[in-house]
A = this chain, B = another copy of it.
Amino acid sequence: MFKAKVYVTTKANVLDPQGAAVQQALHTMGYAAVDDVRIGKYMELTFDTTDRAQAESELEQMCKKLLANPVVEDYRYELED
């Protein structure tokens, strides 16, 4: 069994309206020290296999094909035993 933690974030040069909206809300709530907010996806996947290489290569493919949009998003992941 492996557990993958996947982090998908919008690329730095891509506008993040959701982040801007949250930042605005936080300022309205009085949290003026908040300078920038970026919002992305955090996913936890469990792999029912004992083959780490298989899990890693499949995870890379999944990120490219489904979990992240390579045009506007970056992704990184951690694979734990």
Residues of A within 8 A of B (CB): 1, 7-9, 19, 22, 25-26, 29, 31, 33-49, 54-55, 58, 61-62, 65-67
Which of B9, B26, B66 contacts A29, CB < 8 Å? Answer: B66
Which of B35, B43, B66 contacts A47, CB < 8 Å? Answer: B35
CA distance A45 to B19 in the complex (A): 9
Q: What are 30 A-B pairs at a CB distance below 8 A?
A: A1-B35, A7-B42, A8-B42, A9-B44, A19-B43, A22-B43, A22-B66, A22-B67, A25-B66, A26-B62, A26-B66, A29-B66, A31-B58, A33-B48, A33-B49, A33-B55, A35-B45, A35-B46, A36-B45, A37-B44, A37-B46, A38-B43, A38-B44, A39-B43, A40-B41, A40-B43, A40-B44, A41-B41, A41-B42, A42-B42
